[in-house]
Amino acid sequence: MPGIALLGTQWGDEGKGKVTHLMADAMDMVVRYQGGNNAGHTVIVGTETFKLHLLPAGILYPHITPVLAPGVVVDPSVLLEEIDALALRGISAEKLRISGNAHLIMPYHRELDRLTERRLGKMKLGTTRRGIGPAYADKASRIGIRIQDLLDRKIFTEKLDVALREKNLLLTKIYGRLPMNADAILQEYLGYADRLEPHITDTVAEVHTALDAGKNVLFEGAQGMLLDLDHGTYPFVTSSNCVAGGVCTGAGVGPRMIDRIIGVTKAYTTRVGEGPFPTEDLGPDGDLLVERGAEFGATTGRKRRCGWFDAVIVRYAARVSSLTEIFLTKIDVLSAFDRIKVCVGYEHEGKIYETFPPHQTIFHKAVPIYKEFEGWRTDISGARSWADLPKAAQTYVESLEQMVGVPITQISVGAEATETVTRLAPVTPRSAQA
Ligand code: IMP
């Protein structure tokens, strides 16, 4: 049962698309288990670049079964657009499996996401405005509409009616907007149903069948640890669980089915949207990171906020998700710096924090304590083995590893799949060591 989880350990955008691509050859199934089209996974295959938002990266490979599990929220218009765009490039989505239990993003979710952000003004979260939060909120309130409801016109009509009665009150009375028309939504969504029906299935059963048969199943995370609803920098988070535990609830597998947990970690830190970010650099170093790292969101095109590596948050991610290994990305971006800073702890009102602070206010006001490393000031994109890396880069990697307490097995030195250094063999999971 080789179940492998792959997840971001910072605020998302760590380069999970590249890692999925690298692992794809050995995989049989790739499962998205949380989030929706707020994600943006850039995958470069040969000379082609693909930007996927909702579909699992596994869709690009004919031998892989791509799966959207129950924990995902699905905007069917986006899903079909992505499928059609891939078809134009000769990639078939025929094998795509979609859980009937996944929730639908409805037009009122998108509208309410936008309106709520506008109402919050200065207090806004900086969401992707894709309706993610409102869709998960309806799921928790038990007035969500699921993929399987598309297959039963009567049920879909009833559920839409219940939801829309509340949403139209909100839209008209609170936000002063026009109400939404149930018939128009019904027609639009039942149109999607015809196309989606062949893909709708019991994905939990299919994932277990694959695991039981010894197939390699990759659980592809979206966003990152600090955007986790329960463990991230709430309220500046997304509305799903990005930690390894999210694999269990989102895909319907128990913890024992996950063999390896790979944390994808950027060699510095970025964040999109609002919220605290202790190591953010608002000076020329931050600008250089944006420029060299091409730090613009794949989903919204927003410029990412950039700063130094924060060992406290990655250590926290390693703990909460029981990481077995780390894939370190974009270290080549740091080649331009004479000195490289790493945050090893925070100071707040005379107290030092080496672990993630228990109170939000402390994290908001935390002053990073930096350790400085010598830069290597040379192009390392041609490095393919550990020995090819300059001593200063090796020291940087070894120091991060020590600070985080998890082996760094692979290091990415460029966007292409080949631009990767394999440092250590994949870690044998504890379950297999016994
Ligand atoms: P939402 O997920 O659209 O509700 O946005 C909530 C927060 O998560 C915002 O700060 C977004 O910028 C952030 N976010 C959502 N998806 C991603 C992602 O894939 N990468 C980075 N940030 C994300």
In order along the chain (434 residues), what is the average pLDDT of each group of 10 residues? 93 93 91 95 85 92 96 97 96 97 98 95 93 98 97 96 96 96 96 96 98 96 97 97 98 96 98 95 96 89 95 98 98 97 97 95 96 97 96 98 97 93 72 49
Predicted local confidence at residue 428, as pLDDT: 56
Per this entry, what is the length of the chain?
434
Q: Output the CA torsion 89→93→99→103 (10° steps).
A: 30
Does residue 41 carry a catalytic annotation?
yes
Does residue 338 carry a catalytic annotation?
no
> What residue spans of 227-334 are helical by DSSP H?
245-251, 284-293, 311-320
* Nearest partner of 322 among 398, 431, 400, judged by Cα: 431
Say which residues have a Cβ less than 8 Å from residue 294's Cβ, sequence separation at least 6.
Answer: none
Say which residues have a Cβ less than 8 Å from residue 291's Cβ, sequence separation at least 6.
Answer: none
Closest Cα to atom 1 of ligand 1 = 127
Catalytic position from the list 21, 41, 103, 231: 41
Predicted local confidence at residue 432, as pLDDT: 52
Say which residues have a Cβ less than 8 Å from residue 337's Cβ, sequence separation at least 6.
Answer: 285, 288, 375, 377
| pTM, to two decimals | 0.95
Distance in Å, CA 123 to ligand 1 centroid = 16
In this structure, the number of other CB atoms found within 10 A of the CB of residue 355 comes to 11
Ligand 1 pocket by C-beta < 6 Å: which residues? 11-13, 38-40, 125-128, 130, 132-133, 222-223, 227, 236, 238-239, 272-273
SS3 content of the chain, % helix, strand, coil (to 5): 40, 20, 40
* Nearest partner of 417 among 6, 20, 4, 8, judged by Cα: 20
Is omega for the bond preceding 235 within 30 degrees of 0, making it cis?
yes
* Nearest partner of 132 among 35, 13, 7, judged by Cα: 35
In this structure, the number of other CB atoms found within 10 A of the CB of residue 188 comes to 13
Q: Which of 42, 72, 272 to mutate to test the pocket of ligand 1 (most atoms within 8 A of CB)?
A: 272
Counting atoms of ligand 1 from 1, which one is nearest the CA of 129? 3
Closest Cα to atom 5 of ligand 1 = 127
